[in-house]
């Protein structure tokens, strides 16, 4: 598997639909550190959808039975990389929002509310 993120996944489409319903204009392939899934340039907001497996979501993660140390190390690297990306973006004046994949499968999850709240301002 060479790519961690697949394009146009269900959680991504869910987020885009949510933003559209609020009339928020977003960009998908904005060139930015860490390749955010969605960028709202007008608000300097970068949104990442963190895959529950790849980012080690405590709620959903089920490690494969074999090669556990390998997967744990891999997930740790992803998490560390995400932290570095967050720092870099913030140092350049971006706001960073990270949403768990599992929170974008239904409305009214804490993350969906967080996104809605952000744009109420
Ligand atoms: Zn999860």
| Residue extents of the structural domains in the chain | 10-118
Q: What letter does residue 37 receive in the DSSP assignment?
A: S
The Cβ-side half-sphere exposure at 37, using a 13 Å CA radius, reads 26
Cα 91 to middle of ligand 1, angstroms: 28
For the stretch 45-99, pLDDT in tens is: 999 999 999 999 999 999 999 999 999 999 999 999 999 999 999 999 999 999 9
pTM to 2 decimal places: 0.88
Match domain 10-118 to its CATH number in 3.40.50.300, 3.40.960.10, 3.60.20.10, 3.40.50.10470: 3.40.960.10
Q: How far is the CA of 61 from the centre of ligand 1 (A)?
A: 7
**Contact criterion met (CB below 8 Å) for 13 and 61:** no
Please return the burial class of 18, using the count of CB atoms within 10 Å of its CB with bins 0-12, 13-18 and 19+: middle
Q: Ligand 1 mean position to 102 CA, how many Å?
A: 4
């Amino acid at each position: 598997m060479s790519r961690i993120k697949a394009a146009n996944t269900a959680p991504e489409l869910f987020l885009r639909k949510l933003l559209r319903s609020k009339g928020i204009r977003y960009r998908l392939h904005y060139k930015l550190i860490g390749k955010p899934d969605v960028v709202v340039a007008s608000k300097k907001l970068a949104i990442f959808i963190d895959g529950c497996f790849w980012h080690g979501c405590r709620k959903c993660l089920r490690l494969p039975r074999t090669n556990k140390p390998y997967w744990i190390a891999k997930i740790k690297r992803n998490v560390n990389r995400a932290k570095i990306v967050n720092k870099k973006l913030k140092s350049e004046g971006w706001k960073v929002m990270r949403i768990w994949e599992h929170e974008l499968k239904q409305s009214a999850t804490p993350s969906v509310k967080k996104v809605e709240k952000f744009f109420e301002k």
